[in-house]
Structure 1
Amino acid sequence: MLFKTKFMPLAIALAFTAGAHAQEVIKLGHVAPVSGPSAHLGKDNENGAKMAVEELNAKGIKIGGKAVKFTLMLEDDGGDPKQGTAVAQKLVDAKVQGVIGHLNSGTSIPASKIYHDAGIPQISPATTQTKYTQQGFNSVFRVVANDAKLGGTLGSYAVNKLGVKKIAVIDDRTAYGQGVADEFIKGAKKAGAGVQIVAKEFTTDKATDFNAILTTIKAKNPELVFFGGMDSVGGPLLRQMKALGIKARYMGGDGMCTEALPKLAGEGAANEMVVCAEAGGVTAELQKNMDDFVARYKKKYNSDVQLYAPYVYDSVMTMAAAMQQANSAEPAKYLPVLQKIQHQGVTGMIMFDSKGDIKDGALTLFTYKDGKKTKMEVVK
């Protein structure tokens, strides 16, 4: 008894000191394909998330009067819908307070129901399929323009700016690939009379041999070939187009609009023969912010931004800003704030409409010169 009485004040003091320095841990989930053909893009996304969390923790943020520490649960969906739903359930079971991801529409859409049913907000930095925000879920958001805008803009550009009439279309049968290809066709047909879709072929997201469909397309003599899919297929497809002597211009969406495309396509990515669009982009007045981010990323990871890292970074920062404004990291409390957020990110002002789509989303058109991805223009 004497022992307890003698040392009780010290025990209380130690407990008080520990409590004063304790941090509340906020768990965020991040999902991307860090294995499989799009692993280079998945790793790029993962790096963007890590960078944002490190910067948040360096600031010593307080939420609800408590010091907080953000942690990341990093998961790999391999670009596969079944794997995507499995890791989504894993994050729900781990009681994460928010999810950043997924990269592919085919994984993000089925996973979104799992997060929504659990009441966990999800911000995708890359999902463009229109269906993602049309499911009636109030907890899904995206920071890039959707396929209707991306595909439609490319279709219009092909007809009105490139002056093509005879078009062949190939997609990889994924939710993203089919979606962007269908929207491209709509945009092209709407842009002008006399537009002909002379061939509509499909492959898979793991294919390596395209000779059969390209031989069919070559016979139709198109002026432009549009591909809906990722660079891991789009690059080799372009390489084989060149080998078969198909001289058509080549166009695609954000999935193939990467720094890696020239390496994958070889001589197929000849100067200004490729036009692609990135679902996002910054206007001139915000270019310095983006340039600063790219420089910090390069210094930290000793590699160039591939595609979506800035949008992942902005997604994390936007979710954290909503928590700060709500004074709570509880999903039910910060979700209403997230729905109305106005956050200035490196990619622009982040605001969402009633469905969770980015307001006033930009697109950036690119081509390739001397093996380098080269910006053409930003379209709002």
Structure 2
Amino acid sequence: MTDLIPFFDGHNDFLLRLMMSPAPREETWLGSGGKGHLDLKRMKAGGFAGGLFAIFVPPQSKGPPPDFGALMANPPYDLPMPPLMTHDVAQPIALRMAGLLQWMERAAPQDFKLCRSMSDIAAAMAQDVIAGVMHMEGAEAIGPDLDALYLFHDIGLRSLGPVWSRPTIFGHGVPMAFPGTPDIGPGLTEKGKDLVRLCNDLGVVIDLSHMNEAGFNDVAALSSAPLVASHSNAFAQAASPRNLTDRQLHQIRDSGGLVGFNYATFYLNADGRARTDMGWDVLLRHMDYLIAQLGEDHVALGSDFDGCIIPDLIGDVTGVQAFLSELSRHGYDAELLFKLARGNWLSCLGRILH
């Protein structure tokens, strides 16, 4: 398989890297320095046809960010949950990141478009323009009255995860721990249930990645939309609280939703380690399992580029084609590769976005 297979990716944290980079933003987005996992040139070269770009407000602490690779190198580990963040702290940072996503379009209008509808996505991909969809990972910026959701929706928000791995006024996330279970803590708050209803009304994807099991159950009972976990893997293959149990996978399948395959090494390695020198067999076994539990129509890609430690065999966005080639050698035919690469994401988004 030599031709590029265009793919749609369910999760990346490029906006955070763009905001935090000491280099000029033009260099980070348009340059070819090779830092991080994404930039426009490598995305075009690697077949990145579209994806969800996360607005993520990092924990506000003094000093350098934690070295998750070192902290998660030798299980067992159980990292402390960051404290709840209020909307008055989160909202200015989230708006800045939303502005950066719109700037990315203005800086490269022939190559990148911020998409607000399925017709936008289809038109962009047909013209070989990267289709960017605004996502929010952790809804701290929305606030208790939910009014800001209307604002973010107006400027492009089409996917929202109520929690990251810390509590919010809407629900509870899972810790970065191994081994561990997603069955920890209470479910959605009343404000969280209101958030789910409003997302349904607006046609905004509700992302279940990072949410604990009780919250997952509440969304499944309440939401009228397909269930989506944009960047999660299978608990049976790696016992991380961030991974999904078979019961959760089956509920997602039965709702017509999907799971985006996460490249994070500590959610792929059976021993929970962050090591990156794994063989393709680890990824293939995990993908086989997801397809066995969910079916071919409910598995997609959710890399977590620029937000996690990924296998050396992938390296950055240009390595996705090597993964797809390995899936082909493993026996996945062209129809299944199309579904995994972009077909399933586009079908699922088409069932949710208004």
Fold conserved (TM > 0.5)?
no
Q: Report which of the two structures shows the higher radius of gyration computed on alpha carbons.
A: 1
- Output the TM-score relative to the length of structure 1: 0.31
Q: TM-score, normalised by structure 2?
A: 0.32
Name the one with the larger strand percent.
1
**Greater helix fraction, Structure 1 or Structure 2:** 1
Higher RCO, Cα 8 Å, sep 6+: 2
